[in-house]
Structure 1
Amino acid sequence: MAKVVILDVNDHSPTFMSFPIAHVKEDATVGSLVHHVTAHDPDEGRNGRITYSILSGNENMAFMLDESSGLLTTTCSLDYEMKTQHVLTLLALDDGVPALSSSQTLTISVLDINDEAPVFKQHLYEASVKENQNPGEFVTRVEAMDRDS
């Protein structure tokens, strides 16, 4: 009786399964989960084992990607008024020889929260009101700006 062993050849690149868009509130605490990056490689054994990394778009180091779990978390506070969107290029790399890889662009939208106080355009507003003026009549106009969307 002969035993035939078929060795897997690393002939498949990882394929991203996770959605390429994520959302995170600007008040998310440091370490908050933003996205679960997942990829699939049908190769067997080490040829199908995948590690993840961020190739580009993380210049301010606002995010950390766990290389084995694919969990993407925040590393600092985010501010919608400073940056509304982060675009990361992610890499999924298998452990075969030679290693095969795929990349994906992940767009992270920062969601605005009401964290900015309104600021009046003038420090002082003056108006005259007649003593017999009817209730609800126009007196003056004041203007304020709020950096929140």
Structure 2
Amino acid sequence: MNSLTPQEILQVMSDMGFDLTPHPKLPNSVLDKRLRDALNASQNRDGFPVSLDPRNLPKWPMETGLDGRPLPNGRSVFDAVIRVNYEELSEIHRAEREGREYEALPHHVNALWDLRQVVMYLGRALDKGTDWLPPRGS
């Protein structure tokens, strides 16, 4: 069987959902290994643990009760998941020193930043009592 060209490997990897640069500076042997590893992983999917079902997890000790009063052992989900990297923290402090409001990155510029924002939003929604998971057995 003939080997795939680097462009063909990139196309196959792209079709599998991998985001690689269009003109990588990787040798063919590295591209071949990445494709082999991806194909092997996809064939062994049944060997991976089943996905986590959040309905099977214990309830989070909510910050407030349904009446809005603080609970003694409660904890804010938002406070538990909030994360700021060093660069972002530096920008926040610089904005404070200059007497201006910190302007966060716009959406869709940095995927990890966007993911952090989504997780923090979900934490805030849970703190407010939002429940979007269907009940067990439905």
* Fold conserved between structures, TM > 0.5: no
Higher relative contact order (CA 8 A, sep 6+): 1
More helix by share: 2
TM-score normalized by the length of structure 2: 0.19
